[in-house]
Amino acid sequence: MNVDVLVTNIGELLPMDKKGPVKGKAMNDLDVSTDAAIAIKDGHVTWVGTAEDAKDIEAEQTIDAHHKLVTPGLVEPHTHLVFGGSREKEMALKQQGVDYLDILAQGGGILSTVRMTRAETFKELYEKAEFHLDRMAMHGMTTVEAKSGYGLDRETEMKQLEVVRELNNNHPVDLVSTFLGAHAIPPEYKHNTDAFLDEMADMFPEIKEKGLAEFVDIFTETGVFTVNQSRTFLQKAKDAGFRVKLHADEIDPLGGTELAVEIGAASGDHLAVASERGIAQLAQSDTIGVILPGTSFYLGKTSYAPARQMIDAGAAIALSTDFNPGSCVTENLQLIMSIAALKLKLSPAEIWHAVTVNAAHAIDRGEQAGAIAVGRPADIVIWDAPNHMYIPYHYGVNHAHTVIKNGRVLYERQALR
């Protein structure tokens, strides 16, 4: 056999090659192979076997994994990748105990990012988003969802969506685009939120026609949009041919989890304060719970999403950074894996399902991303770790040693000399 790249001497391989989404107890069943090897041709995996059998394979490039952990590239199902400015000044307010939603109600928070995003050019936004995306790639993330939502007007929302499209065309990491025009209420519509939602919904046909987003999302929260407004808005999005998602039950328990299930959302995201009923419904549904515990950590919450209860009830869970300039400012999904272990009490096996196969399903990439299998794009990470339990255990740093995207080495850790 003649191949382009051979990754061999893999200590522990997690193929994650399962028919997903993986729900409930099955999230704890991890297939691990040892002394493995992977062959890649034309950007795709063509063979997976033992390091012993790999000795017969001729490869243009051989990568010795030195008996380390190898997994699929991480899939990041929820980011606010494109934004103007930054919000470090809000940290002092938060330290004084000013609440996230109060900052928003006073015209800060998301609305301050809206002002900065409206003021920046396409090029400025593009270069910043590219910088953050590069950093995600260095941390092993090879497929990333990206939301708009800092324009809240036609022109700036389009500018954000076009940045995502251009970046997806130029950057090796695959982006999946979501229209989050319903992210906050702009000051010009403060007393007329229904009219604002109508204006955002009026954009659906153009976004669809130009192929600028696959998903439509809404922030269902106190002081933002109600469950009823969200239902109407998301139904219009579905009618226009979009798949839908919601920011649901992040801060106040409004019943967003129930709405996510009712409307057939691909995912309900946050679910930090989901009700018992919501959890039971989620477990019975095809909707994936995207849990963002870095947000609970960053906002100083004392309680975290009931992810343990959701899995025990039979739900499929994914994990995400929620990378954004306000409520979780990190591109490092590995850190979130540690928070999931420490605060959500998820097992390493559950965590690995949540950042690969289930995350891929949350953004409709279940057939392309999140697994190492013959015929799939070769998105692979070699970690500076002896086994899969090590990543959540050793927290706050980057363990990615080599990141391969579509069969090409995208990042390799450099030694200091």
Q: What does each C-alpha distance from 248 to 2, 187, 193, 227 come to in angstroms?
A: 49, 23, 18, 9
Q: How far is CA 288 from the centre of its chain?
A: 12
CB nearer to ligand IZC: pick between 214 and 322: 322
First to last CA, the chain: 38
Whole-number minimum distance, CB 138 to Zn ion, in Å?
Answer: 22
> What distance in Å separates the CA atoms of residue 277 and residue 285, rounded to the nearest whole number?
12
Contact residue for Zn ion among 90, 162, 258, 322 (CB under 5 A): 322
Name the one range near ligand IZC by CB under 6 A: 16-24, 31-39, 321-329, 372-380.
Answer: 321-329
Say whether residue 327 binds ligand IZC (CB under 6 A).
yes
Q: Which stretch in 132-140, 151-159, 227-235, 319-327 sits in contact with ligand IZC by CB under 6 A?
A: 319-327
- Of 51-59, 188-196, 317-325, 372-380, the segment contacting Zn ion by CB under 5 A is 317-325
Amino acid in the structure at residue 220: T
CB of 108 to ligand IZC, least distance (A): 10
What does the alpha-carbon distance between residue 340 and residue 348 come to, in Å, rounded to a whole number? 9
Among 204, 219, 383, 411, interactor with ligand IZC by CB under 6 A = 219
Q: Which residue is nearest to ligand IZC (CB)?
A: 326
Taking the least distance from each CB to Zn ion, the nearer of 174 and 322 is 322
CB of 356 to ligand IZC, least distance (A): 24
Strand stretches in 126-259, DSSP E: 141-147, 174-182, 215-220, 243-248
**Binding of ligand IZC by 109 (CB under 6 A):** yes
CB of 113 to ligand IZC, least distance (A): 5
Least distance in angstroms from the C-beta of 206 to Zn ion:
24
Please choose, from the candidates 95, 244, 131, 99, the residue with its C-alpha nearest in 3D space to the C-alpha of residue 181: 244
CA distances (Å), origin 1, targets 59, 117, 272, 379: 8, 51, 50, 21
Least distance to ligand IZC from the beta carbon of 250, Å? 6
> Angle 154-170/110-119 helices, nearest 10 degrees?
80
Contact 221, 101 (CB under 8 A): yes
Nearest residue (CB) to ligand IZC, 189 versus 298: 298
Q: Select the binding partner of residue 245 from ligand IZC, Zn ion, none (C-beta < 5 to 8 A, by kind).
A: none
For residue 290, list its beta bridge partners.
Answer: 269, 318
Q: According to the binding rule CB under 6 A, does residue 326 interact with ligand IZC?
A: yes
Residue 327 binds: one of Zn ion, ligand IZC, none (C-beta under 5 to 8 A by kind): ligand IZC
Smallest distance from the beta carbon of 233 to ligand IZC, in angstroms?
Answer: 16
> Residue 77 has which token pair?
């199902």
Residue 222, amino acid: T
Interacting residue with ligand IZC among 255, 325, 366, 370 (CB under 6 A)? 325
What residue is closest to Zn ion based on CB? 322
As separate numbers, helices (DSSP H) first and strands (DSSP E) second, the chain gives 17, 16
The pair phi, psi for residue 365, each rounded to 5°, is -120, 25
Question: Is 71:192 a contact under the CB 8 Å cutoff?
Answer: no
Q: Is position 324 an interface residue for ligand IZC (rule: CB under 6 A)?
A: yes
Interface pick for ligand IZC out of 10, 110, 307, 337 (rule CB under 6 A) = 110
What's the closest the beta carbon of residue 148 comes to ligand IZC, in angstroms?
12
CB nearer to Zn ion: pick between 220 and 334: 220
Q: Cα angle at 46 between 41 and 48, to 5 degrees?
A: 130
Q: Is the CB of 322 or the CB of 350 nearer to Zn ion?
A: 322
Asked if 80 is part of the footprint of ligand IZC (rule: CB under 6 A), the reply reads yes
Q: How far apart are CA 222 and CA 227, in angstroms?
A: 10
Binding mask 237-256 for ligand IZC (x = CB under 6 A): ----------x--x------
Q: Phi, psi (5° rounding) for residue 44? A: -120, 155
Report, in this order, helix, strand and coil percent for the chain, each rounded to 5.
35, 25, 40
In the complex with Zn ion, the residue whose CB is nearer, 16 or 354, is: 354
Stretch that binds ligand IZC, among 108-116, 311-319, 331-339, 348-356 (CB under 6 A): 108-116
Kindly state the smallest distance separating residue 41's Cβ from ligand IZC, in Å: 41
DSSP H or E run through 61: strand 58-64
Return the SS3 of 70.
Answer: strand
- Kindly list the residues in this chain that would bind Zn ion in the complex (CB under 5 A): 322
- Kindly list the residues in this chain that would bind ligand IZC in the complex (CB under 6 A): 80, 109-110, 113, 219, 247, 250, 324-327
